[in-house]
Amino acid sequence: MKVYDLAFVCRSKNAGPFQLTVDLMFRTKTDYERVLNSENFTSGRIAALYHVKPEQVAVKPFERILTIKTVIPRNVGSGSPADTDVYGSQQHFPLGDIEV
């Protein structure tokens, strides 16, 4: 099963011009914990998917609202000539595709 199968919301957006955030929201605590505790859902795995260093990835769980927020540096600044997604709204696909 993939993250997309468990999260009812999987979205990305800018967190300033140099960072992205991917928000995962779950309907049940079981689904939330399955993703959060998966051996595939790690800073190292996420870093590899987004071509950044593991220490640059922040995974922030919010159990009370069954949400996991990940913060990842952008490879290029938002709006720069090399940017292909100014709003960061198309960057959730690799994370959502993680098998858990």
Q: Which pLDDT value is given to residue 20?
A: 95
Q: Which pLDDT value is given to residue 75?
A: 87
Task: Compute mean pLDDT per 10 residues along the chain, 100 residues long, and list them.
Answer: 96 94 98 97 96 97 98 92 87 93
DSSP class per residue in 9-34 = EEEEEESSTTEEEEEEEESSHHHHHH
Give the total number of structural domains in the chain: 1
Q: Which pLDDT value is given to residue 27?
A: 98
pTM of the predicted model as reported, rounded to 2 decimal places = 0.92
Decide: 23 and 72 in contact? Cβ < 8 Å: no
The domain containing residue 72 runs over which residues? 3-96
Paired strand residues for 62: 67
